[in-house]
Amino acid sequence: MIVERQTGSSGVDAEVRAQFGSVPLVLDADVKLTPPRTRSEVGALPSVRPGSVPVIVAPFLSPAVRDELIRAGWSYWDATGNMRISSDDPAVWIDRVGASRDPEPRDDGPQRLRSLKAKAVSQVIVQLLSAGRTASVRELSRETGTGLGTASRVVDLLREEGLFKNTTGGPIVVADRLALAQRWARDYGFANTFKPTRYFSLLGEEVALDRLQRSGLTYALTGVRGAAIEFESRELVAPLPASGIWLYTDDIPSVERAMDLAPDRGGNILVARTDFLAPFKEGTQGTEPRLAVPWRIVGDLLGAGGRLASVGEELAAIHSPGMAG
């Protein structure tokens, strides 16, 4: 029996191949850390494709869900020993019974994602918006460095809300990037998710930012200033002039010293702590301001509402194939 990692068009987590004489058996394994729990969730699973046997692999599958999977043409295998592998060609039948109750029951709340506010969730959303697609949940987890459970719950929620194209078991493809960004912004915001500290600098914004650029510290600009630089780099007129400074960093104390910052509740310099930034490559500091990923800037602006949201929409337009602008 051979297990192959799947990154191809079918979008499953793995292919398990077995040979019966001259006839191969292909199992398409779809790992679900948050397995389907209702008939509608089973009905939302991809359609069974000819020539293979789709198998849900999960920590636990209830008797009712197992029955629904059988009706939908899916095989299954859970960690408690419940297994049913059924194939007509070649003729294979494996049926084992494990636990009838979840040995590690958990409340529905932690398992089912209902908000896209969290920091880790934002990494998953930004990757989906930036790439527009991913081969599988497992690949998405690897690309973002987030837990498989987090990536799976985000994908489950977005699929449930119809924000992915129906690829019949293929890769995960975003249907409309702006619609996804707007859905994200309903829950997410730079201020309410990352809780940035507000500051004032006696140096003034431009001098403080210039000092930050030359410091060699790891940071990324977002907000209106980040958007303005994005527009200018494309020789476009920014909808709003650059004002205020919103930035991410992994070293707030050093940024405070470099920019000569003093905490101020009414300050227009907002500094947020994060771990997702990559360090500068040698020789790049002191040249141009470093920006957050464009779709993160879009999300930060959309989440702020008002005129800032309209700037986010215009920035989304120049990063979305098929959108005007």
Closest CA to 285 of 198, 227, 222, 210: 210
Pick from 202-216, 269-283, 296-310: least confident: 269-283
Structure tokens at 42: 């089973």
Pairing relation of β-strands 23-31 and 53-58? parallel
For the chain, give the percent of residues with pLDDT over 90. Answer: 57
For the ranges 21-25, 26-30, 237-241, 304-308, the one whose mean pLDDT is highest = 304-308
> Cis (ω within 30 of 0) for the bond into 90?
yes
Q: Which long-range contacts (CB under 8 A, 24 or more apart) does 203-208 make?
A: 203/259, 203/260, 205/243, 205/244, 205/245, 205/268, 205/269, 208/245, 208/259, 208/260, 208/261, 208/269
What's the token pair of residue 167? Answer: 């690829």
Give the right CATH number for 191-318 from 3.40.50, 1.10.3470, 3.30.460, 1.10.3720: 3.30.460
Least confident of 235-239, 244-248, 299-303: 235-239
How confident is the prediction for the chain on average, in pLDDT?
86
Neighbours of 166 (CB within 10 A): 13
The pLDDT of residue 62 is 86
| Averaged pLDDT, 39-66 | 81
**H-helix or E-strand containing 198?**
strand 197-201
Residue 34 has pLDDT above 90, yes or no: no
| Residues 20 and 88: beta-carbon distance below 8 Å | no
Domain borders along the chain are 2-96, 113-188, 191-318
The three-class DSSP label of residue 60 is coil
**Cα first-last separation, the chain:** 52
Residue 170 — pLDDT band, cuts 50, 70, 90? confident
Whole-angstrom distance, CA of residue 153 vs CA of residue 135: 16
Which of 46-60, 89-103, 281-295 has the least mean pLDDT?
281-295
Written as one letter, the residue type at 217 is: L
DSSP sequence for 14-29:
EEEEEEETTEEEEEEE
Question: Using CA atoms, how far apart are residues 222 and 304, in angstroms rounded to an integer?
Answer: 12
User: For the residues 236-262, what does the mean pLDDT come to?
Assistant: 94
State mean pLDDT over 238-255: 94
Handedness of CA 192, 196, 200, 204 (dihedral sign): negative
Residue 174 DSSP label = B
Half-sphere exposure of 91 (CA within 13 A, CB side): 0
Looking at residue 38, its amino acid is T
Instruction: Report the alpha-carbon distance of residue 233 to residue 235 in Å, rounded.
Output: 5
Residue 7, φ and ψ in degrees, nearest 5: -130, 15
Determine whether 283 is exposed, middle or buried from the number of CB atoms within 10 Å of its CB (0-12, 13-18, 19+).
Answer: exposed
Mean pLDDT (whole number) for 202-229:
94
Fold for domain 113-188? Arc Repressor Mutant, subunit A (1.10.10)
Q: Which residues contact 288 (CB under 8 A, 6 or more apart)?
A: 213
Structure tokens given for 285: 């500091």
17 — pLDDT class (breaks 50, 70, 90): confident
